[in-house]
Amino acid sequence: MPKPRPYLPIPGAIVHAYNRGVDRRKLFHRPRDYEILQERFMEAKEKTNVSIIVHTLMPNHVHVILQQHEPFAIADFMQRACFAFARWSNKRANRSGALFEGPYGGKEISDPFALLLVTYYILMNPVHARLVPSVDLWKYSSLKSSLGNCNGSLNDPSLLLALVGGPDKFAKFLEHFDASDPDSVDQYLCPDYARIWAEIVTKKPGKT
């Protein structure tokens, strides 16, 4: 699953980062395991200059959309979070060796259309994997934050919500978007999406 890592030097870059358990083994065996990785995300976020736009934790893999506000911050974030979680998990299970397939894989997201498509894929992953019948039933994602129902500081959905016009319109996007017709994603973007994208994605280093 992990592919060559995007050690991007570009401030403002947005990346869909992901990692999977070695040999596709489960990363999470109980609810607390999911919570621990989210805590490690928070710790890594506090030490690196990134924003977590979207995330979903699956039983044997992890998806997260990150924006960095200084060069190479995404690589730093993923290394910190994955290493810290692997160390905790190995200690709890009294094991040693690799927990993840690799440091992480990732792909840069270069436009708002791709951001919406990848966001839909990530958030709907538990439904498509038949873990839950409805996306709102999966506890280990940023959905509540994206819908404006969570005041936690782990995720920052401001770019996503600005692009679609707010939480209500984002909810309609998740409900009505037809994944078999990816070109139709443009109808869910607000009229001013190009300006919003340009302003937020080209922020100067150190600005959050």
Does residue 117 sit within a domain?
Answer: yes
Give the chain's count of helices (H) and strands (E).
Answer: 7, 4
Model confidence pLDDT, tens digit, residues 105-154: 999 999 999 999 999 999 999 999 999 999 999 999 999 998 877 656 79
- CB environment 120-143: b (16+ within 10 A), e (fewer): bebbbbbbeeeeeeebbebebbbb
Does residue 3 sit within a domain?
Answer: no
pLDDT at 2: 45
Which domain covers residue 195, as residue numbers?
14-201
Does residue 7 sit within a domain?
Answer: no
pLDDT at 182: 96
Does residue 208 sit within a domain?
Answer: no
Which position has the token pair 């190995």? 90
Does residue 6 sit within a domain?
Answer: no
The whole-chain average pLDDT of the chain stands at 91
Give the residue among 33, 37, 99 at the shortest CA–CA distance from 63.
Answer: 37
Contact 135, 121 (CB under 8 A): no
Measured distance CA(111)–CA(128) in Å, rounded: 25
Model confidence pLDDT, tens digit, residues 45-91: 999 999 999 999 999 999 999 999 999 999 999 999 999 999 999 99
CATH code, domain with 22? 3.30.70.1290
List phi, psi (to 5°) of 53.
-80, -45
| pTM confidence score | 0.91
Does residue 110 sit within a domain?
Answer: yes
Total number of domains constituting the chain: 1
Does residue 76 sit within a domain?
Answer: yes
Measured distance CA(145)–CA(177) in Å, rounded: 19
Measured distance CA(49)–CA(74) in Å, rounded: 8
Does residue 41 sit within a domain?
Answer: yes
